[in-house]
Amino acid sequence: MSVAPYSNNSTRTRTPSSRRLPKTTNRLNQAIANKVVQFPKARTEELKSILRLEKISLFIMLSLMLTTLGMYASAVYAPKLWSENYKKLGKLQSDERDLVTNNETLKNSLANEAKNPAEGLTDVQAFQSIFLPTIEETQPQIGNRQAQQRNTPKEEEEPITPVSY
């Protein structure tokens, strides 16, 4: 009974071997795998300087890109935003003019109604004025207990101030 070369039933499993490859290729692959390629010192310095140059150029590219975006925002977006806000300002000024006009119309109609004697409104006379006393003229009302405390030396030194101050 014959068994397939890569079947699991065989007791001896075959692995892809390098026996089929020419021996020179096999030796070359082993030499490359075993040997670490070392560059001369001048070569490593060149590589390091190339890496530094790459980092510097990346930084310059990013800064130029951010500058371009900033210039775009100032050249395109800012005037657009200014235009929208200017339209809002014009609408607010128009609304303000309408409110002033309506206010003055109401004042005029109230003045015309006040002139009508049937309304019962009269002009203000000097003897009809009400005068309120100033704050210094009014005396705070003090209870008996507070009046006794006010006469003590402590209270005479410190003025009484309202709680809300």
Measure the N-to-C terminal CA separation of the chain; round to a whole number of Å: 112
Q: For 104-112, what is the mean pLDDT?
A: 92
Whether the Cβ atoms of residue 160 and residue 150 lie closer than 8 Å to each other? yes
Between 7 and 38, the more confident residue is 38
pLDDT tens digits along 41-68: 777 888 899 999 999 999 999 999 999 9
The confidence band for 165, taking pLDDT boundaries of 50, 70 and 90, is very low
Q: What's this model's pTM, rounded to 2 decimal places?
A: 0.36
Is 163 in a helix, a strand, or coil?
Answer: coil
Alpha-carbon distance of 108 to 75, in angstroms, equals 50
Q: What pLDDT does 89 receive? A: 97
- Report how far residue 160's alpha carbon sits from residue 154's, in angstroms, rounded to the nearest whole number: 11
